[in-house]
């Protein structure tokens, strides 16, 4: 392994030479070369992204806009499930981004909830980046941090965009679920200009709730922080509610808990019963992706037989095609798009290359002659 090998800023291939306009001649073969292969570990990913919350949120918004105008390929996610481990799954998210990034790739992320009891994080992931022109992989990055970062950046972006038309900006936030994702979302909210008069916390694990409370206390010495024993108490006392749980089926069923019309970031996608969604204005990141895999919106579609309960996408709101009501809860349910992981991963790769910190695996690709 070598470090700081020079790499191109964009695609690691050479462009073909231009033909003379006077004598076109035969078409020349493109002068491709095999890119070097780099490994970027978690510590380097985290160091690169620290303190860049505003920049990453803007990157996520720009990438999401590209996706919404057809400048991406983002097929359905593929779920690997196990008969002997029914709570576990590994998900493949292939994707491709056009625009200035021009990169393809795959996120391979596992969710093993039983890890938590063993003191390990629930999720682990890697991200593979592929060269746009040759298809060769040119980087493997630790991606649980990238995944949490893009999730938090999208949640923060939605909080900003969906609160713009409200009479008052939410001043009381409640976190339902207190793991890694909740911590990242809190970080992105506060780093991009949010402040709160009150912070509520609820988790089915008292230890997790206490740990998150301690974390919040270090960041908000003068803010009231309450650990709620009851889900209803948390929801009724919050104007902005962040669902970041590992629930695999709806467990919040009473629309009356939302009578105060809060803004809900339904990041974990399976917490809310169809009855709650039917009483709300529902915004998603991508309709086809979100209405799959027994998410709450998918269950609502199955119940009603239609998609009329959807108000539109976040892109519809930001471009003015959808106006949000003031007299209903607003629920944002993002499935999470692989193109967003690619954008953040490519940003990390470019920063490592720019600063000379790439760790290149010499000779990773070996059989490079067609006939030996």
What would the 3-class secondary structure string for the chain be? CEECCCCCCCCCCCCCCCCCCCCCCCCCCCCCCCCCEEEECHHHHHHHHCCCHHHHHHHHHHHHHHHHCCCEECCCCEEEEECCEEEEEEEEEEEEECCCCCEEEEEEEEECHHHHHHCCCCEEEEEEEEECCCCCEEEEEECHHHHHHHHHHHHHHHHHHHHCCCCCCCCEEEEECCCHHHHHHHHHHHHCCCCCCEEEEECCCHHHHHHHHHHHHHHCCCCEEEECCCHHHHHHCCCEEEECCCCCCCCECCHHHHCCCCEEEECCCCCECHHHHHCCEEEECCHHHHCCCCCHHHHHHHHHCCCCCEEEEHHHHHCCCCCCCCCCCEEEECCCCHHHHHHHHHHHHHHHHHCCCCEEECCCCCCCCCCC
Closest CA to 267 of 169, 143, 175: 175
User: pLDDT tens for residues 192-210?
Assistant: 999 999 999 999 999 999 9
User: pLDDT tens for residues 69-92?
Assistant: 999 999 999 999 999 999 999 999
User: pLDDT tens for residues 29-62?
Assistant: 677 889 999 999 999 999 999 999 999 999 999 9
Mean pLDDT, the chain, integer: 91
Torsion 343-292-183-68 (CA) sign: positive
Q: Residue 326 has which token pair?
A: 């003031």
Q: What was the pLDDT predicted at 27? A: 59
Report the top-level CATH class of 153-333.
Answer: alpha beta
Q: How far apart are the first and last CA of the chain?
A: 25
Burial status of residue 164 (CB atoms within 10 A of its CB: 0-12, 13-18, 19 or more) = exposed
Report the top-level CATH class of 33-146+338-361.
Answer: alpha beta
Which residues belong to CATH 3.30.1780.10 in the chain? 33-146+338-361
Burial status of residue 25 (CB atoms within 10 A of its CB: 0-12, 13-18, 19 or more) = exposed
Closest CA to 187 of 165, 206, 227, 159: 159
Reply yes or no on whether the pLDDT at 295 is more than 80.
yes
pTM over 0.85: yes
Q: What was the pLDDT predicted at 168? A: 86
Lowest-confidence segment of 13-22, 113-122, 124-133 by average pLDDT = 13-22
3 band by pLDDT with thresholds 50, 70 and 90: low
Closest CA to 201 of 183, 184, 188: 183
Q: What was the pLDDT predicted at 116? A: 85
Reply yes or no on whether the pLDDT at 175 is more than 60.
yes
Q: What was the pLDDT predicted at 51? A: 96
Which residues belong to CATH 3.40.50.720 in the chain? 153-333
- Biggest distance spanned by C-alpha atoms of the chain: 80
State the Cα–Cα distance between residues 126 and 139, nearest whole angstrom. Answer: 10
């Amino acid at each position: 392994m070598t470090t700081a090998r020079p790499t191109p800023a964009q695609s690691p291939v050479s462009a073909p030479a231009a033909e003379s306009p006077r004598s076109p001649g035969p078409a020349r073969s493109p002068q491709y070369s095999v890119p070097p292969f780099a490994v970027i570990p978690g510590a380097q990913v985290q160091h690169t992204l620290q303190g860049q919350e505003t920049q990453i949120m803007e990157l996520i918004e720009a990438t999401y806009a590209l996706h919404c105008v057809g400048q991406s390929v983002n097929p359905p996610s593929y779920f690997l499930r196990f008969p002997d481990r029914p709570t576990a799954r590994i998900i493949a998210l292939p994707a491709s981004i056009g625009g200035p990034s021009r990169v393809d790739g795959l996120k391979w992320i596992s969710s093993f909830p039983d890890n938590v009891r063993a003191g390990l994080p629930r999720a682990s992931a890697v991200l593979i980046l592929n060269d746009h022109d040759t298809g060769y992989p040119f980087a493997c990055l630790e991606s649980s941090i990238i995944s949490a970062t893009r999730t938090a950046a999208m949640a923060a972006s939605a909080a900003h965009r969906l609160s713009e038309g409200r009479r008052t900006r939410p001043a009381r936030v409640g976190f339902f679920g207190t793991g890694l994702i909740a911590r990242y979302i809190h970080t992105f909210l506060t780093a991009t200009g949010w402040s709160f008069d009150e912070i509520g916390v609820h988790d089915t694990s008292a230890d997790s709730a206490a740990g998150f409370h301690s974390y919040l206390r270090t960041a908000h010495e003068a803010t009231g922080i309450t650990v709620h024993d009851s889900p209803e108490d948390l929801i009724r006392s919050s104007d902005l509610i962040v669902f970041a749980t590992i629930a695999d089926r709806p467990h919040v069923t009473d629309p009356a808990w939302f009578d105060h019309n809060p803004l809900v970031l339904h990041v974990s996608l399976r917490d809310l019963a169809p009855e709650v969604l039917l009483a709300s204005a529902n915004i998603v990141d991508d309709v086809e992706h979100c209405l799959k895999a027994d998410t709450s919106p998918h269950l609502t579609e199955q119940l009603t037989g239609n998609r009329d309960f959807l108000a539109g996408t976040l892109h519809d709101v930001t471009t003015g095609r959808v106006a949000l009501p003031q007299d209903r809860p607003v629920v944002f349910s993002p499935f999470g798009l692989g193109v967003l992981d690619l954008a953040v991963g490519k940003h990390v790769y470019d920063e490592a290359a720019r600063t000379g910190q790439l760790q290149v695996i010499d000779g990773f690709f070996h059989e490079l002659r067609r006939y030996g």
